[in-house]
Amino acid sequence: MASDSDQKDIVVVGGGIIGCTSAYFLTRHPAYDSSKHKITLLEASKIAGGASGKAGGLLALWAYPSNIVPLSYRLHAQLAKEHDGESKWGYRRIHCGQLAAKGRPNEKKEKLEGKPSSGESVSLNKRDGKALGKVTAAGLPKDLNWFAPESVRSYYEMGDPDTTAQVHPYQFTTAMAELAAQKGVNIILGSVTSIDTTNGSGVKSVTYKDKATQASHTIAATDVVVSAGPWTQRVYPPAPISGMRAHSVTITPSKPISAHAIFTEISLPPDFGNKDTFLKSKRAHQKIVTPEIYARPNNEAYACGEGDHLVPLPKTTEDVETDLARCQDIIDYVSSVSDELRDGDVTVRQACYLPNVEAVSGGPLIGPTGVKGLLLAAGHTCWGIQNGPGTGKLISEFVFDGKAKSAAIGSLDPRKVM
């Protein structure tokens, strides 16, 4: 535990959600004194440049791991209330469900890629009484009316507004960085090249290469938090963290859609993909696909597909390779069950890497590494946005109190797997 006389030079490595929430909560800890303590946040490319800016942003009390989820979910609500998260980063309570559906053959409206569509959208699948009867029988909520009735097979609710919410990941992560900076955090764009641990006895300094000038700089450190997502192992080699690429798209629907997050299971017709109008080629598809679809405020839909390990982790988030064919698959899949998404405008095609823990125990890993002053906060998989605030709060306690106080996280101790 830090005494009042201790001066701390804290370096947080990584400008994703975990690094930014760690910086934020470090500045909110009762022991933090900006006139005495120095906090530096080092990010190789840009704040929220990776998965933290390209994720879905789903928050849920039924997420994992259960020892930090309740804390983090509660902190999300508190942060939104304190900083007007509803308007600043799209915080809202939502419904979440599992939808089984039968996909329809590709029937895209005539539209040149890259050209804006006309204001008129005409659905070819009318919601007649018979079709609506099928929806009712399947248990689909009345306001979840943006799925083609003839496609819906079954639906069950996974979460309601008491247990499920959402944020816009990029807006939330950058807001946390800005709020931390307002309390004295120095944000530097630069790649960490080494952490001096004085032969393992304790951290002494961090050396980085400035992004703009390529000059090398070394800054003193009493505490270092390595929270570089899938790049964590490149900063600290003993960390068992790997990366999995994931693709996603955003779509402006042809008309507003209700506040739901949907996990789909779509059975595709045998000839699906034969009418590919984007890449002018025929691609093979699985019989059943499972894209996730999140309705966001301001008439935006986010959709993501399965992950892959086809392309190794690049040097930085700016070097991530987006496979347009995989993005098109996502667009085709969600279009096969929704007129509103099929007839909407695709606004973003993107890819990122999710951090996974290469250990039987899973992750994330949060806490001391065994080297004095060196903490690890990484491996949050697809729940990084959900568990960011809780992780940041716990990191602030490790730094200033010497132990985690807000949650029992012994099972997430990095020393158990390193």
Query: Which has the higher per-residue pLDDT, 73 or 276?
Result: 73
Distance separating alpha carbons of residues 214 and 211, to the nearest angstrom = 6
Question: pLDDT digit string (tens) for 20-45?
Answer: 999 999 999 999 999 999 999 999 99
Q: CA separation (Å) from 214 to 44, 49, 208, 211, 318?
A: 11, 19, 9, 6, 16
Element (H, E) at 225: strand 223-226
Tell me the pLDDT band of 133, cut-offs 50, 70 and 90: low
Secondary structure of residue 16 in the 3-state scheme: coil
- pLDDT surpassing 60 at residue 129: no
**Which is nearest to 292 in space by CA: 280, 301, 305?**
305
Q: Looking at residues 241-266, what average pLDDT do you find?
A: 98
Q: What is the average pLDDT score of the chain?
A: 90
Q: Which residues contact 385 (CB under 8 A, 6 or more apart)?
A: 17, 52, 55, 56, 57, 58, 59, 167, 169, 172, 173
pLDDT at position 100 is 97
Residue 274 pLDDT exceeds 60:
no
The rounded distance, in Å, linking the Cα atoms of 117 and 81 is 38
For the chain, the distance separating the N- and C-terminal CA atoms, rounded to the nearest angstrom, is: 24
List the beta bridge partners of residue 267: 102, 288
CB atoms within 10 A of CB 15: 32
Beta bridge partners of 157: 97
Nearest to 336 by CA among 49, 124, 185: 124
Mean pLDDT within 370-375: 96
Distance CA 312, CA 218 (A): 29
> Distance (Å, rounded) from C-alpha 283 to C-alpha 273?
6
Quick one: pLDDT at residue 108? Answer: 56
What is the model's pLDDT at position 284? 72
**Tokens for 115?**
């050209």
